[in-house]
């Protein structure tokens, strides 16, 4: 039975305000505002360096496939951030002075409503997903929750040990076969004239100390490895390639000093 004219007008009067109210809710919008929370253990270098603040990298809410960068003052423990909605939206938070990022994934690491926790555990995946933003549609089918579990299991307590090239290729091919996710091989290097204790930028690695002669031996992964001298504040960056490696030292605010560029794989003597 059709509603009579009076009843039909009454129904429309009810429905239109309801639609207006619901459409204003964030559930129907293309972006969401989250409160990003930074824990005290996110950045192992922070206690040893002057306050430098944080740099936040996240998908641009109004420009799909692009990144946005937000600088946050030192000492902040939480801040608001508008991000696009999606099945897995990565947010990477870097200490402005260097080191590995901490990360959060929306909505996987949400807690207490719209609070997005960032932690060292998810920094690797957040950075990887940010690099794949232009491939957003191809990533929609990936089970991110399962991927987070696999990285935790395969990483052996260090997610940055996972080979990012193999994992990236697998994801782009639409396959997350667990046998394709594996750890990278490491190489041992010895550096001379590096006295003191050195704190890795990767919070999952142990600190290292040089011997009495100033020789520092480190076990390194392919790519960029970073260490901070806890006494002098010097930062050591080592770029390990397939057949060669080079390192640079940052002393305070001075320019980068290149040392031993292109040294063949082996010990630095």
Query: Across-strand partners of 259?
Result: 247
Reported as a single tens digit per residue, the pLDDT across 3-33 is 444 333 433 333 323 323 333 333 335 899 9
Query: 17 — phi, psi (to 5°)?
Result: -60, -35
Residue ranges and CATH numbers for the domains of the chain are 30-141 (2.60.40.1120), 187-264 (no CATH)
Using CA atoms, how far residue 230 sits from 158, 177, 218, 248, 266, in Å, is: 22, 41, 16, 17, 26
Structure tokens belonging to residue 21: 């109210």
Reported as a single tens digit per residue, the pLDDT across 92-134 is 999 998 899 999 999 999 998 899 999 999 999 999 999 998 8
CB atoms within 10 A of CB 171: 21
- For residues 162 and 155, the answer to whether their CB atoms sit within 8 Å is yes
Q: Along the 269 residues of the chain, how does pLDDT read in single tens digits?
A: 444 443 334 333 333 233 233 333 333 358 999 999 988 789 999 999 888 899 999 999 999 889 999 999 998 999 999 999 988 999 999 999 889 999 999 999 999 889 999 999 999 999 999 999 888 776 777 889 999 999 999 999 999 999 999 898 888 877 666 657 889 999 999 998 999 999 999 999 999 999 889 999 999 999 999 999 999 999 999 999 887 888 999 886 544 444 444 333 333 32
């Amino acid at each position: 039975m059709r509603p009579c004219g009076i009843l039909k007008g009454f129904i429309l009067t009810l429905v239109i305000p309801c639609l207006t109210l619901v459409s204003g809710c964030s559930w129907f919008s293309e972006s969401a505002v989250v409160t990003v929370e930074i824990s005290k253990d996110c950045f192992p270098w922070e206690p040893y360096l002057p306050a430098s603040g944080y740099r936040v990298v996240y998908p641009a809410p109004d420009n799909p496939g692009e990144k946005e960068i937000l600088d946050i003052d030192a000492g902040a423990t939480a801040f608001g951030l508008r991000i696009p909605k999606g099945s897995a939206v990565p947010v990477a938070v870097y200490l402005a002075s260097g080191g590995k990022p901490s990360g959060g994934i929306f909505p996987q690491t949400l807690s207490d409503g719209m609070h997005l926790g960032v932690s060292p555990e998810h920094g690797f995946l957040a950075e990887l997903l940010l690099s794949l933003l232009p491939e957003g549609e191809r990533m929609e089918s990936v089970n991110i929750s399962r991927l987070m579990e696999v990285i935790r299991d395969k990483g052996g307590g260090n997610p940055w040990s996972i080979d990012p090239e193999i994992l990236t290729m697998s994801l782009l091919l639409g396959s997350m076969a667990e046998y394709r996710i594996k750890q990278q091989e490491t190489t041992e290097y010895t550096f001379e004239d590096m006295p003191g204790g050195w704190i890795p930028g990767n919070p999952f690695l142990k600190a290292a100390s040089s011997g009495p002669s100033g020789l520092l031996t480190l076990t390194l992964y392919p790519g960029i490895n970073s260490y901070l001298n806890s006494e002098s504040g010097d930062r050591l960056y080592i770029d390990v390639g397939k057949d060669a490696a080079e390192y640079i030292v940052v002393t305070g605010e001075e320019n980068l000093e290149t040392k031993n560029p292109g040294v063949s794989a082996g010990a630095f003597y």
